[in-house]
Amino acid sequence: MKKSTDSLSVCMVTTGFPVIAGDNSGIFIKNLVDKFDEKVKLKILVPSHKENFLAFSKYEVIRVKYFFRKCENLFYSARGLPQEITRNPLILWQLPFFLISMSIYTLKHSRNFDIIHAHWLPMGIFGIIPKILWNKPLIITIRGSDVNRMDSHWFDKIIAKMIFKFCNIAVVVNKSFKKQLEDQFPFLKVEYIPNGVDKIADDLIEKRVKNEISNILYVGNLVIEKGILDLKWAFEKLVSYGYKVSLTLIGNGDLKNIYTSHNE
């Protein structure tokens, strides 16, 4: 694969990106790509939806159509796809159409790009055929929900192993994920890119010494896969240990009624 040394092109595949007005699905991915150098040519493949997409000027966003427009509502739920299927199994009929469509779109649009970058483990499936046919490097960003599913379901672990066989690099957001993947999949190259946890811990210790209040803000889906119950447990532990902390959660999902804010 030949490419210019002063430019890079990335075909990104994701089910979450804020393409609809008022929706913050995958906002952290947008924050990531907004920081890309202007020399990076970027194309983002996202599932279609019955609502209109926002316009983007810095990069190209491709609407992956998988059924009649008015019926496309499989994604962009605050719960996320796994939770939405659990809540409403009837929407599963759309999934085969999406899988076929996203496979075709990825194969077509990635051909002239240097790298395929999939967000979330299942999206790595769509990079396998382009990697084989076009010899494209495949990068997959792994997050907490992926790791939790691999731990909880044997089927997800089998799928993960298959995908990782074709993955050049798996990017994780904390050190525990890196160790876990390296232990389970020793053939996999794993890169850790910090997600702010170490910095938060340092700030908490410093403010405790100064007897100051630490304000913690969570913004994201309020579902069990995001570790909301773990966050609640950790917060209560901090309070019991004498830390002065305030926790505020912003988001939507099945756990939104547990609590929206708590102060000590």
Whether residue 186 is found in the same domain as residue 204: no
Average pLDDT of the residues of the chain:
84
pLDDT digits (tens, 9 = 90+) for 191-223: 998 754 455 566 666 776 677 888 888 877 787
Last residue of a domain, one of 166, 192, 218: 192
Last residue of a domain, one of 142, 168, 192: 192
Would you say residue 3 lies in a domain? Answer: no
Would you say residue 169 lies in a domain? Answer: yes
Question: Average pLDDT, stretch 60-75?
Answer: 91
Whether residue 135 is found in the same domain as residue 249: no
Would you say residue 2 lies in a domain? Answer: no
Whether residue 45 is found in the same domain as residue 168: yes
Whether residue 161 is found in the same domain as residue 221: no
pTM of the model: 0.76
Here the contacts of 64-73 (C-beta below 8 Å, separation 24 or greater) are 64/98, 64/101, 64/102, 64/105, 65/101, 66/94, 66/97, 66/98, 66/100, 66/101, 66/102, 67/94, 67/97, 72/47, 72/48, 73/49
Question: Average pLDDT, stretch 15-20?
Answer: 90
Whether residue 162 is found in the same domain as residue 252: no
Q: What integer pLDDT is reported at residue 200 of this predicted model? A: 58
| Number of structural domains the chain divides into | 2
Whether residue 243 is found in the same domain as residue 172: no
Closest by Cα among 22, 63, 53, 58 to 38: 58
Which structural domain, as residue segments, surrounds residue 79?
8-192
DSSP characters over 31-57? HHHHTS-TTEEEEEEEE--SSPPPP-S
Would you say residue 1 lies in a domain? Answer: no
Q: What is the amino acid identity at position 3?
A: K
Here the contacts of 51-58 (C-beta below 8 Å, separation 24 or greater) are 51/20, 51/21, 52/20, 52/21, 53/19, 53/20, 54/18, 54/19, 54/20, 54/21, 58/33, 58/34
Min mean pLDDT across 1-10, 225-234, 239-248 is at 1-10
